[in-house]
């Protein structure tokens, strides 16, 4: 068996502590799987005295991640500090500059600086691994970088945020309104005190940015992602979707189109009978459409200390086996520039919910606006009036055939201006899964 | 960029020809992904003159796979001949003996000789890759060997045979009887003229044997697998399952139990709302339960030339990147002997369908036999009488709580001997998915 691989871990939070415990308690098993012993020799953490359920007395403590990455006698640097800048960025650069392979779970770091770090790794003849940075315990990075390498990807999409999926699942099952559901999720620890990063769709967007690069061999472009969170989703929409044979999920989608690559995160209606629609609670899922395979779907835990540790361990053991791979599948110089497809050019079906005032000609006027924008309708449902406040208005649901985002926005603007609506129109994009 | 990787392909059937075409038409893309050009330099095939949609004029032809594997100037040998013995076995051994890495799609070869070949590969300092040997285009081998390497697996299970799943899906959707469905599947090319290997469960068992070794770090033991095919599944069972909230799938399951590792392939009832139950037609799916992850599920195409080629390509490009990995995750000497758990010790719920003669006391007698074997019942449904031939008997469905295979077999033997049944009792195992 080869000489041990000496590990330095920066950050002993939930994931780091879990990793340290696993390495200590599975010494023999991991040595067999790695082909050599894995030894934790150096760490950093804010609090040295905290009980992390593992004996760290023989391990060297460093004051900060950069010092560890720069000076520790290690063969692999594991960055679990978090954040796109500061200690995380600086320590990863320091480790790569020494030619050390790096394992990180840091989606923000990679979404902002991934290509730059991949270039640095290549110049230094080493590798940066990041299985844990997207979809937690689902091995989607390895699958896309290695397993689907013979394929040409046309679309990658999935449920990448557990908080949103948990909330949408409960809103659907229990008919709870968004605000109440959020309070409950916060109480139970499924949502942060400031939930914006999750429910606003930003977390999913960071993960999508990485998958886009792997899928299409292009540079990362987080800023080009169209993002719409779940805060405006109502139980009325969820119920209406169910009546029509759909469920609403926050999907993150990257798709090759004629004008470029679309990247978008938004509440999405998908067929209720699809496997993806059965993905409930905090579970994540990623689907990839390719030329050779048609579609594959991976479902699993998206977060949590042990699921994330599982992903980090897969990278650690790859590094121990000497696996060396460009971070995004291609040498960074070969990544194509990201060519953005505008959201207004997006093509798809749309769900539209209108609260239509009880007036002669209102519906004819709405139908005309749709026709003017060349939107043809697959179904029209007048729903029962759902509240006391809606006595003078009737909810009308339209499902469009494939049309464009621009046409829908224009039509809805015109309908709003015509003055037949009691409240702002609601719109949810429909994703075709086959 | 490194020097080219020279490829020899033995066997230019559907998969081999598809692979040759892909390598020719994606030259630049694959060179970027592999970090070096991939060149097809040698082939074998029975018919040299057949048009395979690719120019093979610059390629060296060999008379047989062993000659190619022994003498061609190649860096990688791809075995697509098929069969557990003969040319496939001999050529793979010849290539490994030269120290060449081998890529194969041959489940029979590996299920019978996998450990022996892994040992030979290790002795010669090379690797045998077999992503295409189980679940076709789903990257389950890589996922288990590398992606889940930090985990302890408790169960791996899935839908591994497309023919069976296609037939069960059609029987369910269209209410067609097994024999008619089989004829139709044969006519449409979804089932072979001799369908035994598929519908008898043997194909799924071969694939399961490989997954068991990867999951539990043990030697392969194809002969210990309990196998029951789908030929006895009736539309009555499928309908009764649906009424009770289940669907019937041919599952292959390997599971760690107290007495050893269970390996079994049989028709199985799973909850209708589960993601696995949505896997229809020729699609395959594999789920893995582990300590760190809970569960992950992979769904995708299980067969077909291009899906299989996708898996072969993933191995080819890994080999080109210099990835070197023990075939079954551990050095073959470290694989534990397979410790078989007997099927009679299997624990789970059971669906039992009895055609009970219209006699006083019949039901009481059945209930007593269940109680004698300590089988408690979760539900009892007396179904409507389903045919003219059944006028003197009533179909009774029992769903048991968790019990053992031995208890159920004993109880059903006793019930049969009591003479209250019009026909043989039917039994379908229920798999708990959470």
Say if the Cβ atoms of B306 and A291 lie within 8 Å: yes
DSSP letter string, B33-89? HHTS-EEEEEEE-S-SSS--SS--TTSEEESSHHHHHHHS--SEEEE-S-SSSHHHH
Interface contact A146-B148, CB threshold 8 A = no
Give residue B58's pLDDT. Answer: 92
Distance set, CA B208 to CA A393, B114, B222, B386 (Å): 59, 13, 8, 36
Tell me how far apart the alpha carbons of residues B226 and A15 are, in angstroms, rounded to a whole number: 40
Tokens of A51: 């009980």
Tracing tokens 């299970």 back to the chain, one arrives at B157
Neighbours of A63 (CB within 10 A): 8
Q: Which CATH class is domain B140-301+335-343?
A: alpha beta
Whether the CB-CB separation of B42 and B74 falls below 8 Å is answered with yes
CA gyration radius, chain A: 24
pLDDT in single tens digits along all 434 residues of chain A = 579 999 999 999 999 999 999 999 999 999 999 999 999 999 999 888 899 999 999 999 999 999 999 999 999 999 999 999 999 999 999 999 999 999 999 999 999 999 999 999 999 999 999 999 999 999 999 999 999 999 999 999 999 999 999 999 999 999 999 999 999 999 998 999 999 999 999 999 999 999 999 999 999 999 999 999 999 999 999 999 999 999 999 999 999 999 999 999 999 999 999 999 999 999 999 999 999 999 999 999 998 899 999 999 999 999 999 999 999 999 999 999 999 999 999 999 999 999 999 888 888 999 999 999 999 999 998 876 655 555 688 899 999 999 999 999 999 999 999 999 999 999 999 999 97
Beta bridge partners of A295: A289
Contact B278 A279 (CB under 8 A): no
> Do the Cβ atoms of A49 and A61 come closer than 8 Å?
no
Q: Is the C-alpha dihedral spanning A64, A70, A76, A78 positive or negative? A: positive
Q: B150 vs A321: CB contact, 8 Å cut-off? A: no
* B212: number of Cβ within 10 Å: 29
Are A249 and A406 a contacting pair, CB within 8 Å?
A: no
The size of chain B, in residues, is: 434
**By CA distance, what is B306's nearest residue in A?**
A292
Per-residue pLDDT, A387: 56
Give the count of beta carbons closer than 10 Å to the beta carbon of residue B174.
11
Sequence-separated (6 or more) residues with CB below 8 Å from residue A239: A175
A141-301+335-343 has CATH 3.40.50.720 classification = no
| Cα diameter, chain A | 84
Q: Which residues of chain A are in CATH 3.40.50.720 domains? A: 5-100
Q: Which residue has the tokens 């590798």?
A: A127
Measured in whole angstroms, the distance separating CA B391 from the mean position of its chain's CA atoms is 40
Q: Is B267 helix (H, G, I), strand (E, B) or coil?
A: strand
- A339 annotated to a ligand binding site: no
Q: How many residues does chain A have?
A: 434
Q: Any residues with CB less than 8 A from the CB of B365 and at least 6 apart, and which? A: B415, B418, B420
Rg from Cα positions in chain B: 24
Distances (CA, A) of A27 to A16, A20, A21, A24, B125: 16, 11, 10, 6, 25
- Among B146, B172, B315, the strongest candidate for a mutation testing the A interface, having the largest count of A CBs within 10 A, is B146
Q: Pick the closest to residue A344 from A398, A410, A399 (CA basis).
A: A410
Closest residue by Cα to residue A305 from A68, A58, A53, A59 = A53
CB A113 within 8 A of CB A106: no
Chain A residues whose CB is inside 8 A of the B299 CB are 275, 296-299
3-state SS track over A158-205: EECCHHHHHHHHHHHHHCCCHHHHHHHHHHCCCCCCCCHHHHCCHHHH
A384 given a catalytic annotation: no
Count Cβ–Cβ pairs < 8 Å, chain A vs chain B: 171
- Inter-chain residue contact B301 with A299, CB threshold 8 Å: no
Would you say B136 and A292 are in contact if contact means Cβ atoms under 8 Å apart?
A: no
* Cα nearest neighbour of B327 on chain A: A33
Residue pair A211/A144 in contact by the 8 Å Cβ criterion:
yes
Helix H segments across B175-216? 178-187, 196-199, 202-216
* Cα nearest neighbour of A284 on chain B: B296
Give the residue among A27, A56, A54, A77 at the shortest CA–CA distance from B150.
Answer: A27
Is A14 known as a binding-site position?
yes
For every residue of A415-429, DSSP letters joined together read: HHHHT-BSS--EEEE
How far is the alpha carbon of A325 from chain B, nearest alpha carbon, in Å?
Answer: 7
Query: What's the ipTM?
Result: 0.95
pLDDT single digits (tens) B376-425: 999 998 876 655 555 688 899 999 999 999 999 999 999 999 999 999 99
Q: Could A150 and B297 be called an inter-chain contact, meaning their C-beta atoms sit closer than 8 Å?
A: no
Q: Which residues of B are annotated as a binding site for NADPH?
A: 107
Marked catalytic residue, from A207, A339, A384, A410: A207
Do the Cβ atoms of B138 and A296 come within 8 Å? yes
Which DSSP string corresponds to B370-428? HHHTT--EEEEEEPPP-SGGGTTEEEEEEEE-SEEHHHHHHHHHHHHHHT-BSS--EEE
- Calpha distance B60→B73 (Å, rounded): 10
Using CB atoms, pick whichever of A30, A35, A296 lies closest to residue B300.
A296
- Contact between B210 and B114 (Cβ < 8 Å): yes
B247: left (phi over 0), alpha (psi -120 to 50) or beta: beta
Q: What are phi and psi of B273, to 5 degrees?
A: -85, -5
Chain A nearest CA to B178, separation (Å): 25
By the 8 A CB rule, do A335 and A328 touch?
Answer: yes
Q: Using one digit for the tens of pLDDT, what is the confidence trace for B182-230?
A: 999 999 989 999 999 999 999 999 999 999 999 999 999 999 999 999 9
Q: Are A137 and A309 in contact (CB under 8 A)?
A: no
CATH 3.30.360.10 is held by the domain B346-430: no
Contacts of B330 in chain A (CB under 8 A): 32-33
In chain B, which segments carry CATH 3.30.70.260?
A: 346-430
Half-sphere exposure of B4 (CA within 13 A, CB side): 13
The 3-state DSSP composition of chain B as helix, strand, coil percent (nearest 5) reads: 40, 25, 35
- Of A26, A51, A53, A48, nearest in space to A39 by CA: A26
For domain B5-100, give the fold: Rossmann fold (3.40.50)
Looking at residue B1, what DSSP letter applies? -
Taking an 8 Å cut-off on Cβ atoms, the answer to whether A326 and B35 are in contact is yes
Tell whether A16 is in a known binding site: yes
| Separation between Cα atoms, residue A185 and residue A230, nearest integer Å | 14
Q: How far, CA to CA in Å, does B120 sit from each of A193, A217, A361, B126?
A: 57, 37, 81, 9
Helix axes A202-216, A107-123, angle to 10 degrees: 30
Strands B260-271 vs B128-129: parallel, antiparallel or unpaired: unpaired
A267: nearest Cα among A289, A241, A244, A287:
A241
For tokens 């690797």, what's the residue? B127
Is A107 annotated as contributing to ligand binding?
yes
DSSP E strands in A344-411: the ranges are 347-357, 377-382, 393-400, 403-404
Nearest to A310 among B150, B217, B330 (CB): B150
Give CA–CA dist A285/A275, Å, rounded: 10
Q: Which residues are registered as beta bridge partners of A329?
A: none
- Residues of chain A with C-beta less than 8 angstroms from the C-beta of B139: 143, 146-148, 296
Where does chain B hold its CATH 3.30.360.10 domain(s)? 140-301+335-343
- Which of chain A's residues have a Cβ under 8 Å away from the Cβ of B317? 146, 149-150
Candidates A146, A297, A317; nearest CB to B150: A317
Contact B276, B249 (CB under 8 A): yes
Which strands, in side-by-side order, build the sheet including A128-129? Answer: A60-62, A38-44, A5-10, A76-79, A102-104, A128-129
Residue range(s) occupied by CATH 3.30.360.10 in chain A: 141-301+335-343
Q: Give the model confidence (pLDDT) of A91-148 as tens digits.
A: 999 999 999 999 999 999 999 999 999 999 999 999 999 999 999 999 999 999 999 9
- Segments in chain B below pLDDT 70: 1, 384-391
């Amino acid at each position: 068996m080869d000489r041990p691989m000496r590990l330095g871990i920066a950050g002993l939070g939930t994931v780091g502590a879990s990793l340290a415990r696993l390495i200590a308690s599975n010494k023999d098993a991991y040595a067999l799987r790695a082909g050599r012993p894995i030894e934790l020799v150096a760490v950093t953490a804010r609090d040295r005295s905290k009980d992390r359920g593992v004996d760290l007395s023989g391990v060297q403590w460093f004051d900060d991640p950069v010092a560890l990455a720069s000076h520790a006698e290690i063969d692999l640097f594991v960055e679990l500090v978090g954040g796109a800048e500061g200690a995380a960025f600086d320590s990863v650069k320091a480790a790569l500059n020494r030619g050390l392979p790096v394992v990180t779970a840091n989606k923000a770091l990679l979404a902002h600086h991934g290509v730059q770090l991949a270039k640095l790794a290549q110049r230094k003849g080493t590798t940066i691994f990041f299985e844990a940075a997207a979809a937690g315990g689902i091995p989607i990075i390895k699958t896309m970088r290695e397993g689907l390498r013979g394929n040409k990807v046309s679309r990658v999409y999935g449920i990448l945020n557990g908080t949103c999926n948990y909330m949408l699942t409960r809103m659907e099952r229990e008919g709870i309104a968004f605000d109440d559901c959020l309070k409950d999720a916060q109480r139970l620890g499924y949502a942060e005190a400031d939930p914006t990063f999750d429910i606003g769709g930003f977390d999913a967007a960071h993960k999508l940015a990485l998958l886009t690069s792997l899928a299409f061999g292009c540079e990362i472009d987080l800023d080009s992602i169209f993002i719409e969170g779940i805060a405006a989703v109502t139980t009325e929409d969820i119920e209406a979707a169910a009546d029509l044979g759909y469920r609403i999920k926050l999907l993150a989608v990257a798709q090759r189109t004629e004008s470029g690559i679309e990247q978008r995160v938004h509440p999405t209606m998908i067929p209720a009978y699809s496997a993806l629609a059965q993905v409930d609670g905090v579970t994540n899922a990623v689907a990839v459409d390719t030329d050779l395979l048609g579609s594959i779907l991976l479902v699993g835990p998206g977060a949590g200390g042990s699921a994330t540790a599982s992903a980090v361990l897969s990278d650690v053991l790859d590094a121990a086996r000497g696996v060396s791979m460009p971070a995004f599948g291609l040498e960074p110089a070969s990544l194509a520039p990201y060519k953005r497809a505008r959201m207004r050019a997006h093509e798809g079906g749309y769900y539209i919910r209108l609260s239509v005032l009880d007036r002669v000609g209102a519906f004819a006027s709405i139908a005309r606006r749709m026709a003017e924008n060349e939107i043809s309708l697959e179904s029209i449902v007048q729903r029962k009036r759902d509240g006391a406040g809606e006595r003078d208005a009737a909810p009308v649901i339209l499902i469009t055939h494939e049309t464009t985002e621009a046409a829908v926005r224009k039509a809805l603007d015109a309908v709003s201006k015509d003055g037949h609506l009691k409240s702002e129109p609601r719109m949810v994009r429909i994703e075709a899964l086959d």
